[in-house]
Amino acid sequence: MNVIQTHLTLPEGWTKGAVMALISEVAPHIGLRPARLAVLNYIIGRTRASDWTSPHREPVFFGAQDLAAVELGKTSRQLRTDEAALAKLGLIVKRVAANGARYGRAGLGLILTPLIARLEEFIALRDRLRAERRHLRALKDLRSLRLRHIKRCIAALPSSAIKDPEIVKILAIFDKWPRSDALSRLGLERLNAHLKASSDLCSSLDDWLEKRGLSSDQPAENFRPFTQNTREETQTVKTPPAVDNSERHAEIAQSESPSSIPCPAPPALTPENLYRIAGDGLRMMLDASRDQNRPLKERDIIEAAWALLPMLDIHTSVWHEGQSTLGDHGLAFCLLLVDAQRDHPSYPVRNPGGLMRELIRRAKAGRLDFDASVAALQKRRNGVR
């Protein structure tokens, strides 16, 4: 009776090319130096693709060592050292004749089945590394928000502030902040500590300004550049409706027919007023992060809006795209409008990212009227139809 030998195979959807990409991504974290990664990719690339998915065959490299050495630009001795290192790392098994020869018919060569056996391990490592990179990126972006905030506050300081001991201390601490391009080298522990310190420093400067009636939370300074009517036409724009996922770049249609009830004037856009008209998502982010013992500040709104981006499946590049036109304040307000539109009774937004991009495009074209949007949103929150 013939026994059919069964070997490990790649999961459905995986190919040897995908394995090469996976190993290349995790290589530095499994002790695989670039030169030996090149050798491993050479070996994998010269195996039959079907051997990675067939339960009856193993992926084996049968190539002659001398020829492989020439093609890799190495000596035979160097290649033997690399193969031994790959075997020690548990990435291949050397199954060769006593004289080192490899024969396809005899199944002698460099066996790559260990890679298949460790695939789940490497996938988990890749996912963890990606998550860490995303987390690091988020922390660096948060530091960038605070850096811009503190620079705005410093720019708002009166000339006499330079003689104030508290300001002198704040500026001295700020001057010691690590450069943005050095944040990755701090490590997560030190970066988190720096972020805590940066938040405290921003709060100290906010408090100093507020005590002297110069708080950047004042409505006149908060969102004025972003709430004026910038439309060239005389027609009033109401709160924009949903943008369907299938029409990402479509124009935002009119959300509601004109109401016979006069539209109330927009409220002063203090952080507390913004909280009252915000959607559930932004409120949740603010409730999770705010200090309940102090009033909301503009930085709280901006940071909560930034943190809400991934929850709405909006890529951070959208925020960067609108930075030159709207700044952090205007972008945070756009995000508030997008989030608030998710519970619109008639036009719930289905594609938050598309709507956010459309708001930015309209702002760049000078056709965005936040005042009307605030008024319409306020009416809806007050139950006015």
Q: Is residue 150 part of a domain?
A: no
Pair (184, 285) in one structural domain = no
- CB burial string 76-99: b at 16+ within 10 A, e below: eeebeebbebbeeeebbeeebeee
Q: What was the pLDDT predicted at 250?
A: 28
- CA–CA distance, 69 with 77 (Å, rounded to integer): 9
Pair (52, 105) in one structural domain = yes
Q: Is residue 52 part of a domain?
A: yes
Pair (161, 120) in one structural domain = no
Q: What was the pLDDT predicted at 384?
A: 55
Q: pLDDT (tens digit, 9 = 90+) per residue, 140-178?
A: 999 999 999 999 999 889 888 889 999 999 999 999 999
Tell me how many domains the chain contains. Answer: 3
Pair (26, 112) in one structural domain = yes
Q: Is residue 4 part of a domain?
A: no
Pair (113, 65) in one structural domain = yes
Pair (43, 96) in one structural domain = yes
Q: Is residue 221 part of a domain?
A: no
Q: What was the pLDDT predicted at 98?
A: 58
Amino acid at 63: G
Q: State which of 124, 147, 182 marks the end of a domain.
A: 124
Q: Is residue 129 part of a domain?
A: no
Pair (301, 361) in one structural domain = yes
Stretches in the chain below the pLDDT threshold 70? 1-5, 97-107, 215-268, 292, 384-385
Pair (110, 169) in one structural domain = no
Q: Is residue 294 part of a domain?
A: yes
Give me the domain span that covers residue 345. 271-382
Q: Is residue 296 part of a domain?
A: yes
**Distance, C-alpha 45 to centroid of its chain:** 33
Secondary structure (3-state) at 341 = helix
Residue 322: CB atoms within 10 A of its CB come to 21
Q: What was the pLDDT predicted at 107?
A: 67
Pair (95, 163) in one structural domain = no
**Distance, C-alpha 197 to centroid of its chain:** 23
Q: Is residue 10 part of a domain?
A: no
